[in-house]
Every structure is written in structure tokens, then in C-alpha cells.
Chains A and B, each alone.
Chain A
Amino acid sequence: MMKKIFISILFLTPNLIFAQPNPKEKKTEMPTDFSRIKEVLKNDQLEGEVKKKIEKQKRLNALEEKESTERFNIPKENEFWSFISEYWIVKNMEKMKWNFEKPDYGLDEYFSKFLEEQGYYEVKFKILLLDNALIPHFCLPSNPNEAIFLISVPFMRTLDLSKLEISLLLLEDFVRSKMNQFKSKVSPLDLDKTFGINFQKQEFPQKMFNEILKKYDEVVYDKGFNFEEQFELTIKMERILKSNPTLWTAYLGLIEKIGNLTKTNTIYQNYSKLYPSPEMQLNWLRPKKKVL
């Protein structure tokens, strides 16, 4: 008996699933008694279920509509900067020369530990090595608790930098980034008001984003940072490093090395324009000699 039922279901099911209504077949019109259907539904307590399902569907539709509208949102500040920095990096690939094969310097593990030792926890970092001597080192604006570093391999090699020295340089850029020195230079006045707005029914502020990208070019390729910013940073670095004699000595040695390089190697003459200037930094950091 069971076998017969099973076999008959097995044969019948595909017919039921794949059965298509034949358009040539004439449908026999049957009057539908809706009031009776309603009564049956009520008796089976299905009316409540139907209501619940309709409500659920309404909620889903509203959620879908919300998501669809939100796709026209301009990101809030905490999600914006990493995107725009990476977009700029991608658009400047040829100029920056980052698409090249390089050895593994082991910076990932070393710099993670270095940051922890300086009390910077839960920082996600991305270091991009460049085959370009003209962009020595930068930390681009990024989302909170993230850092996007650029560092030149020719610069590292010419100075024969150790992992500690590279880490000190990256730390300097990281501290500068936390002081918003880069961000403040590339942010148009109205940017804060633009974060998080929805542009579905208004014009997309393309000009503003083009302006930001242009400012990135200016900072990295041309103007860098001014004396005032460099002074503030140097004093901050002193506060961070001076309690650790090893780091402090290494930091002073690093600035001295860079200073000598910029004076003697014409390729790096532009460095003092971007970071004015290693010589001044040393003057700010070294104890002043008393004149008797």
C-alpha cells in the first residue's frame, strides 16, 4: 500500500511541478464564492496568519526601500576617508609607481609590535611601498583606527634605514595624521555638511570631491607641510619618545641622516619643501647651548 502511494506521488509530482497551462484549453468559468472562502479561513484561524504575513511583507518592502534610498547617501566621515585616499592612490598608480615587485621587509609584524609598545592599540594599517624617490613618506587620511602609509623604497635604501628607523618615520606620519594635518589641507569648507547627506533628489557634489583629489596632489607632490605644522609635530614626537632613550637617540639620528641626505643628494632636494626642515627639527629638539 505504502509503496503504491510513494510510486504514484513520485510519478505525479513532476507533472504537477512542470505542468504549464495550455493556452488553447478553454477554461471553464466557475463562479467563486469569496464569502465562503473567507468563512473557511476564519474557521481555520488562518485570517490572523494572513494578516501577519501581509504585515511582514510590508515591513520587508519598507526596509528594501530604505536600503535603496540609503545607497544614495554620501558616506559619513568615519567611512569616507579610506575610500577617497585609496581612490586617489589607484588613480595615481603610474605616477606613484607602486605596482612593482618588492621583497618582504617584515614590516607588518615589526610595526604592529612597535605601535603596541608606543601605546597605539587596535590600529589597522596599510603600508604601500613606492618605487618613487619623490614621495618619501606620508600617512594619508583614513577611517578611525586605520592608517594608510606611503613610503619610498629608494628613500629607504639610500638612507639604509633599519626597521626601527622606518617605524619611527611611520610613527611620525601617524602622529601627524592624528593631528589632522593632512586632512585639514584637503578638506573643503563645506565637506562636513556634505557627510551623510542623501543625493537622490539633489545634484551630486562632484566638484567638491574633485577638489579634494586635487588637494591630495598638491600636498603629496608639491606643498607638503609648513613650518608651524612641522614644529607642532616635532614637539609632539619629543613628548612621545623622550622617555625612551633608545627611541629618542634613534629618532634624532634619523632626522640627522635625512638632513644630510637632503643636503648632499639632489634627488631629495624637494624633501625640505615637503617637510621643513630636518635641520630646524634638530634645532627644536636638541638642548640649547647656554651662552656664557
Chain B
Amino acid sequence: MTGKQFNLHGRFRLRILFLLILISFSDVFAAQVPSIKDVYFNRFSGHLHQGPDAQSTSLKVLNCGDILKVISNEKEVTTPSKFNWSKLQTASHIGYVRQEFLSTELPNCFNNKYLKFVEQFKMELTDRYNWGRLYDHYVLGKSKVK
């Protein structure tokens, strides 16, 4: 009888201990793995726009693999643009990105995979900015699978 009580207390203590460990490590995990509402930017370069429109002011240049926090998706975002946009947050800005430029899984980014190769081209900030604008201007499409 006493042994059973002891076991119950033991389990209770273990659970509390496990909970405390989890809490103390939660920040470390949060910095590395995006939560369910976090998404990755999946193009070489792009922009976080002030409004849901490709011509809208750029708040920030985005690079492939950047993590953004989703505030809302297209149903809540009214836009004259024919594309679906997501309202997102980075560390310091809230803005909009076309949904096809976002993915829930870490994309295979050219600029990360060939980091040193890309560095050799010594791109300036204006080049990165213009590369992002390029994706605002492209007419993108894909013919379907047979």
C-alpha cells in the first residue's frame, strides 16, 4: 500500500520535472523550428509588401529560407490583385507576400546550398532588392502534369 502511494508521488514528481525541462527548452526549439503558423519564403529573393499588391511599397527584402509568422491568409485579406496574399510578420514588420512564394516546409534554397558560390558574385543590396522586384514582375505559370 505504502509502495503504491510512493509510486504515485514519484510519477507526479517526474511529470512536473519533465514539464519544467520542456518549458526551459521551449525557447531554444522556437528559434530553430517554425511553429505551425510559421512559413518559409521560397524564392531566391522577394519583398514583404506594405499592402497585398506587387506594386506596393517594400518593407523588407526577403531571402529564400526566411521564416515569417502568418497573421492571416487570403480569406481575410481583401486585394485587387488576382493572387492570394498572406499577411505576415517578421521581427519588425507586418506586411504581405504572395502565397505561392511561401511554403510550410524548409525549401531547398539555392542561396543556402551554394552560399559561397553566390557570394562570389558580390551582390549589392540594390541587386538583392531588384532580384526581389523581378519576382514581383514575372508572369509565372506552369503547364500541368500529363
- The verdict on B139 contacting chain A, using a C-beta distance below 8 Å, is yes
- Interchain CA distance A281-B112 in the complex, whole Å: 45
8 Å CB interface, B98-146 against A: 110, 112-118, 120-121, 127, 130-131, 133-134, 137-146
Closest chain A CB from B107 CB (angstroms):
13
In the bound complex, do residue A89 and residue B134 qualify as a contact, i.e. CB atoms below 8 Å apart? Answer: yes
Answer whether A5 and B9 are a contact pair too, CB < 8 Å, given A71-B113, A71-B114, A90-B131.
Answer: yes
In the bound complex, do residue B116 and residue A72 qualify as a contact, i.e. CB atoms below 8 Å apart? Answer: yes
- Interchain CA distance A92-B24 in the complex, whole Å: 51
In the bound complex, do residue B110 and residue A83 qualify as a contact, i.e. CB atoms below 8 Å apart? Answer: yes
Chain B neighbourhood of A72, CB < 8 A:
116-117
In the bound complex, do residue B137 and residue A99 qualify as a contact, i.e. CB atoms below 8 Å apart? Answer: yes
In the bound complex, do residue A125 and residue B140 qualify as a contact, i.e. CB atoms below 8 Å apart? Answer: yes
8 Å CB interface, A88-145 against B: 89-91, 93, 98-99, 101, 104-105, 107-109, 111-113, 115-116, 120-129
- The verdict on B22 contacting chain A, using a C-beta distance below 8 Å, is no
In the bound complex, do residue A91 and residue B127 qualify as a contact, i.e. CB atoms below 8 Å apart? Answer: yes
Chain B neighbourhood of A75, CB < 8 A:
110, 113-114, 117
Chain B neighbourhood of A34, CB < 8 A:
none
- The verdict on A13 contacting chain B, using a C-beta distance below 8 Å, is yes
- The verdict on A284 contacting chain B, using a C-beta distance below 8 Å, is no
- Write the chain A residue with the least CB distance to B12: A2
- Interchain CA distance A53-B116 in the complex, whole Å: 31
- Write the chain A residue with the least CB distance to B142: A124
In the bound complex, do residue B82 and residue A128 qualify as a contact, i.e. CB atoms below 8 Å apart? Answer: no
Contact with B along A193-221 (1 / 0, CB 8 A): 00000011000101001000000000000
Residues of B within 8 A of A (CB): 9, 12-13, 16-17, 20, 24, 44, 55, 82, 110, 112-118, 120-121, 127, 130-131, 133-134, 137-146
Given contacts A91-B127, A127-B141, 13 further A-B contacts (CB under 8 A): A72-B117, A73-B117, A75-B110, A75-B117, A86-B44, A90-B131, A111-B141, A112-B142, A121-B143, A122-B144, A124-B141, A127-B140, A206-B120
